[in-house]
Amino acid sequence: MLASEKMSFVVPEAGAVSALLMRPADSKWLLALAHGAGAGMTHPFMGALAEELASFGVATLRYQFPYMEGRKGRPDSPAVAAATVAAAVSTAADAAPDLPLLAGGKSFGGRMTSTAAAEGLLHGVRGLVFFGFPLHPPKRPGTKRAEHLENVKMPMLFLQGTRDDLADLSLLQPICKKLGALATLHIIEGADHSFHVLKKSGSTDTGVLKELASTMVAWAEKNAVAK
């Protein structure tokens, strides 16, 4: 297992939060990686994803949102969350200025990353990666959460499972089509919102992690290169 360097940074008006930098020797990219609403940066999925990305030459800066750092149950406001993403991106850029920078996250973390991007807060970021974009609450299909995406001016990769109950693909596909060349949708057959697959699917959670990482790297090399 690759060791992670413990770090911290300050979010304006919210205080200091923790972060973990994992940088393999052959790093080609750095991803500022935000956690989902219900679990922090040390959740098993986040750790496993960081390890898998490292095997593909991607360094990661995982970090906490202030509510998770303070062990509060309710997620931060969009303003605080966006400020956290911006501070994390700045910290990542300072930690590895030689690596091209991506930003994204799992579920809530991805949506708050796109919120920050839509507000023009993510300087130097070449693309956004959503590990399960939470388009709507479970069993309540809607598209309001995607309205800000039209203000994002950089490439976006949506990694979505066919069993994701927070993203009806019949709604997400037209959104991505409307976003045009900036949006890439990669569908993972049989995966739910946590990227678990059923045994009968013939796939495995380990295989899904590898697909997430390899797809992100291939997308980045094609879409997130410097112009």
CATH of the domain at 147: 3.40.50.1820
* 28 close to 99: Cβ distance less than 8 angstroms: yes
Pairing of strands 29-34, 101-106: parallel
* 164 close to 170: Cβ distance less than 8 angstroms: no
Q: What is the pLDDT of residue 1?
A: 74
- Look at the chain and report how many structural domains it folds into: 1
Domain that holds residue 206: 5-223
Q: What is the pLDDT of residue 102?
A: 98
Distance CA 37, CA 74 (A): 9
Count of CB atoms situated within 10 Å of the CB of 8: 13
Distance CA 7, CA 20 (A): 6
Instruction: Using the CB atoms, write b or e for 35-49: b if 16+ within 10 Å.
Output: bbbeebbebebbbeb
Is the pTM higher than 0.85? The answer reads yes
The low-confidence residues of the chain, meaning pLDDT below 70, are: 226-227
How many CA atoms within 13 Å lie on the side-chain side of 30?
Answer: 24
Q: How far is CA 169 from CA 132, 135, 163, 172, 226, in A?
A: 11, 9, 9, 5, 31
Distance CA 9, CA 175 (A): 34
Q: How far is CA 109 from CA 64, 93, 112, 199, 227, in A?
A: 10, 18, 5, 28, 27
